[in-house]
Chains A and B, each alone.
Chain A
Amino acid sequence: MTETPQNSPKRRHQIGLFVTCPVDLIRPSIGFATATLLERAGCDVHVPPQSCCGQVAFNNGQPEETRALAWNIVQQFGQYDYVVLPSGSCGGTIKTHYPELFAQDERHETVVRFCEKVYELTTFLTEVLDYAPTRAGIDLSSETVTYHDSCAGLRELGIKQQPRTLLKRCANLDVTEMEETDVCCGFGGTFCVKYSDVSNRMVTNKVNNIRQSGASMVLGGDLSCLLNIAGKLQRLEPDNPDRVQVRHIAEVLAGELQTPAIGEPSPTRGKGE
C-alpha cells in the first residue's frame, strides 16, 4: 500500500478519532500526528465531541458511571467505519471491557458490534491497513531508541510487534530493547497518586532500565505511561540537557518531531521548569 491510495475504487475509510483525555488535555500533538498518519494511509478523519472512555470510573468501583460513559461513546462514534485511539489502555477498556460491562444489558449486542471496529492506532495501521509509506518520512537508523510496552496494550490487546514493525517502515528504526520492557512503569491511573511511593519505586526501576539500554529516546503507545516516565527522568536529571527524550510513537511515525519531547522546553521559548 502506498501513502496515497486514493486511486482505490473503494470508498475511503471514515475514521472516528478518539484521542483520549490525556492527549486531548496535555499533548494535542499526538492527536494531530495520529490524524496525519490516518490521512496519509488514505482515511478520512473525524473528531466528534468526546471525553473519557470511562476507565477511571471502571477502575475505581463505579460500574454505573462507566456504563453511562461507555454508551455515550458507542453513540458518538457508532457512525464511523472504524474508531481509532492512540492508546492501548483506553483501547483495552473499550475493546476488552465494554462487552463485559453490558453482559446483562439489552444493549450488549450493539456494544459488541461497536467494539469490533475499535482499534488501537498501531494495530489498525498494521493489521487493518498494512500501512507502509513508499519511503520513510524520517530516518532514525543512527539513533538508539527503546520502546516501553504499556501493560493494557500488551496484555489486553496483544500489542508488541505492531509498533516495532511500523518504526522500521516509517523511520527506518530498529528498536534497542531494554530489560523488562513488559514490566509496568507504575502509572496505574489513580494508583500513582494513592500509592505514590510504590509507584515511584516502579517508575525508578523503569527509568533505570531505559537508561541502561543506552537509548537517547524512549517511545511508547500510551501518553499516561510516558508522562510518568518523562516526569521521573526530568526529576532525576533536571539539568542534564542530554537526558533521555520521551515521545509517543505516533509523533515519530508521522515524522512530526518539531514539537519538543514530552516536558522538554521548546528551543525558541526555552526554559525548563
Chain B
Amino acid sequence: MSQVQTQEPQPDFIIRSRAALEDNHLQEALEKAGSGFVYKRQAAIERIGNFEQLRDQARQVRVRALKHLDLYLLHFEKKVQNAGGQVHWAETPEQMREIVIGLCQAQNAKTATKGKSMVGEEVDLNEALEAAGVEPQETDLGEYVLQLAHERPSHIVAPALHKTKAQVQSLFRANHALGERALDEVADIVNEARAVIRDRFLQADVGITGANMLIAETGTAAIVTNEGNGDLTATLPRTHIITTSIDKIVPTWEDASAILRVLGRSATGQDITTYTSFFTGARSERDKDGPEQFHIVLLDNRRSELLGSEYEEMLHCIRCGACMNHCPVYQAVGGHSYNSVYPGPMGAVLTPLLRHEEQDNQLPNASTFCGRCESVCPVRIPLPGLMRKLRDREQREAKHASVSTLAVKLFCRLSRHPVLYRRLTHFSLKLVSMIRGRKSRFRTLPLMSGWSRHRDFPAPDNGSFQSQWQQRHKGTNHD
C-alpha cells in the first residue's frame, strides 16, 4: 500500500469509466461485440444439454489441481525435462522478463514471433524485449492490431474488442503498403494481416506463446486458438518459449478434457476451438518438425500467496472471459477502464490480489453484485463474494475511514435500535413531507447528487410504514 491515503478512495476508475462512456468508437465496438458472446454461449450450452454437470467436473479438476499444486508442478517439470525441455521458475514479473530475454539472447535472436499470452502482458514482456534488442512480433490478429496501435488488450479472449472495423482499417492504411489490395470487408482485413504476419513466422528466431493448460501427467502445454497462429509460432522457430503461470496446471489429460469441454463454450460459444494444440518437449529424433529448444517459464507473481487463503478460488480461473462478456459494468465501460491486463469481474478480483495497490481498491467496488458473472463462470468462482472480501480487506487496511464508510457505520448503529430508528425516521419523514409540499418527486437531492444528476426520486409518503402500521393497529394485538 502507498504511504498516502486520501479521505476518499482513488477516483481513477471513475475518471476512466467516464471517459469510456463518452468515447463513441469504444461504445460502438462494445455494442457490436456485446450480446454476440452471450447468445453464442447460450446456444452452445443448449446444444450440449448437460453443461451444469460439465461445470461441476471442471471445477473439481481445478480444486484438485490446486490442492496438490506443488506436487503437480514438480512432476510437470520432471516430465518436461524428460521430453528434452526446460522449466524456469519466475517469482516476479521482473524475473520472468529476465529469463525470457536471457533465452532470446542465448539464441542471438533479433525477432520473436508471439502468440497471445496474457501472462506476457501481465509482465510487460514486449517492452522488455524491445529494450533488449529483440523485436516482438505479435501474430494473433487482435494483438497485432494492438501492437500497431500501441495499445493494451481490453479483453482476455478478444484483446482488440474495443477497436472498430474503421479504426483497424485506418491503422492498416497507415502501417501497410497496401497497393491495390482491398480493405473493405472483414475478410480483406484478415487476409491483409495474414499476408504480413505469415512472412514473420518464417523469419523469427524465437516463438513465444502462452498456454491455456499445463498437463502434469506428461509435461504437456495445451494451447487453444482460432487462428492457428499459436501452432506456427510454436513449431517454426528453432526455440519455443512458453510464458504462463503456475496455476495453469491440471493433473491429467482426462482433466484437461474436462476443462476444454467448458472453455470454448464459455468463451466463444464453440464446442471446441478451431485449433487445440499440445506441445510436449523439444523436437526428438523421431519428429519431422518442432523446435530444437523448448522452454516453459512459470510465473508466480503472488499466486502462491493465494493458496489456502480466502481468495484461493480465484486461481480456479481458466480465462474464458465469460464473466466480462456478461458483466453490465464491463459492457458499459470496456476493459481499459480497469487499468489492468485482467478486466471485468475476474480482473476486479485478480488485479487487487496480484498488485495489492491502493489504486486498485476501486475495482471490486465497481460492481452492483448482480451476480451474472458467477452464474456463467464455468468453474463456479464466487466472483461477487470475492469482491466483497476485497471490500472488507480495503476497510481493514484503511488508515482513515472515508465519509461514506462513516455514513454506513452511523446508519448501522442507528439500525441496531429499531425502536429508536422507527421514531427518528418517522420524525424525519414528517419533516420531509412538510418540505415537499405538493411535489410527488424531487429533481435534486442534497448529498445524493450521484443519484439526482441522472434520475428523479419519489417524495416519501406521510410517515414510515412502521409508524402508519402502528397507528392503524393501536389497541389491537398486532405488534
Q: Closest CB of chain A to B332's CB: distance in Å?
A: 4
The residue of chain A having its C-beta at the shortest distance from the C-beta of B404 within the complex is A190
Count residues on chain A whose CB falls below 8 Å from chain B CBs: 80
Given contacts A56-B411, A193-B448, A263-B458, contact A188 B421 (CB under 8 A): no
Residues of A within 8 A of B479 (CB): 46-49
Given contacts A56-B411, A155-B375, A188-B368, contact A49 B440 (CB under 8 A): no
Residues of A within 8 A of B375 (CB): 155
Cross-interface CB contact of B416 among A60, A63, A68, cutoff 8 Å? A68
Contact with A along B431-470 (1 / 0, CB 8 A): 0000000111111000011110111111111011110110
Count residues on chain B whose CB falls below 8 Å from chain A CBs: 71
Q: Is the beta-carbon distance between B450 and A193 smaller than 8 angstroms?
A: yes
How far, in angstroms, from A101 to B21 measured CA to CA in the complex?
36
Given contacts A56-B408, A191-B367, A263-B440, contact A72 B416 (CB under 8 A): yes
Residues of B within 8 A of A189 (CB): 368-369
A76 in the interface (beta carbon within 8 A): yes
A144 in the interface (beta carbon within 8 A): no
Q: Is the beta-carbon distance between B332 and A47 smaller than 8 angstroms?
A: no
How far, in angstroms, from A214 to B395 measured CA to CA in the complex?
45
Contact with B along A176-220 (1 / 0, CB 8 A): 000000111011111111111111111101000000000000000
Q: Is the beta-carbon distance between B450 and A196 smaller than 8 angstroms?
A: yes
Q: For chain B, what secondary structure do more than half of its interface residues adopt (helix, strand, loop), or is it mixed?
A: helix
Q: Is the beta-carbon distance between B388 and A59 smaller than 8 angstroms?
A: yes
Cross-interface CB contact of A273 among B413, B418, B456, cutoff 8 Å? B456
Q: Is the beta-carbon distance between B464 and A24 smaller than 8 angstroms?
A: yes
How far, in angstroms, from A186 to B372 measured CA to CA in the complex?
13
Cross-interface CB contact of A186 among B368, B391, B468, cutoff 8 Å? B368
Residues of B within 8 A of A265 (CB): 440
How far, in angstroms, from A49 to B426 measured CA to CA in the complex?
13
The residue of chain A having its C-beta at the shortest distance from the C-beta of B27 within the complex is A201
Q: For chain A, what secondary structure do more than half of its interface residues adopt (helix, strand, loop), or is it mixed?
A: helix
A42 in the interface (beta carbon within 8 A): no
Residues of B within 8 A of A59 (CB): 369, 388, 391
Residues of B within 8 A of A200 (CB): 453-455
Residues of B within 8 A of A132 (CB): none
Residues of B within 8 A of A58 (CB): 388
Q: Closest CB of chain A to B120's CB: distance in Å?
A: 30
**Which A residues between 23 and 60 are near B, CB-CB below 8 angstroms?**
23-32, 35, 45-52, 54, 56-60
Residues of A within 8 A of B332 (CB): 198, 201-202
Residues of B within 8 A of A271 (CB): 438-440
Q: Closest CB of chain B to A67's CB: distance in Å?
A: 10
The residue of chain A having its C-beta at the shortest distance from the C-beta of B365 within the complex is A194
Q: Is the beta-carbon distance between A28 and B464 smaller than 8 angstroms?
A: yes
Q: Is the beta-carbon distance between B372 and A194 smaller than 8 angstroms?
A: no
Q: Closest CB of chain A to B52's CB: distance in Å?
A: 14
B430 in the interface (beta carbon within 8 A): no
Q: Closest CB of chain A to B330's CB: distance in Å?
A: 10
Q: Is the beta-carbon distance between A62 and B454 smaller than 8 angstroms?
A: no
**Which A residues between 222 and 273 are near B, CB-CB below 8 angstroms?**
227-228, 230-232, 234-235, 238, 260, 262-266, 269-273
Residues of B within 8 A of A23 (CB): 465
The residue of chain A having its C-beta at the shortest distance from the C-beta of B414 within the complex is A51
Residues of A within 8 A of B356 (CB): none
How far, in angstroms, from A18 to B442 measured CA to CA in the complex?
27
How far, in angstroms, from A183 to B374 measured CA to CA in the complex?
13
Give the A-binding residues of B (Cβ under 8 A).
Answer: 13-14, 17-18, 21, 328-329, 332-333, 365-372, 374-375, 388, 391-396, 404-405, 408-409, 411-419, 421-422, 425, 429, 438-443, 448-451, 453-461, 463-466, 468-469, 473, 478-479
Counting from the closest, the 4 A-B pairs by CB-CB distance are: A188-B368, A231-B455, A61-B395, A193-B450
21 pairs from A and B in contact (CB 8 Å cutoff): A25-B464, A27-B461, A32-B469, A47-B479, A49-B421, A50-B466, A51-B418, A52-B415, A60-B408, A61-B393, A69-B412, A69-B416, A72-B415, A192-B368, A203-B454, A227-B457, A228-B455, A231-B458, A234-B441, A234-B456, A272-B441
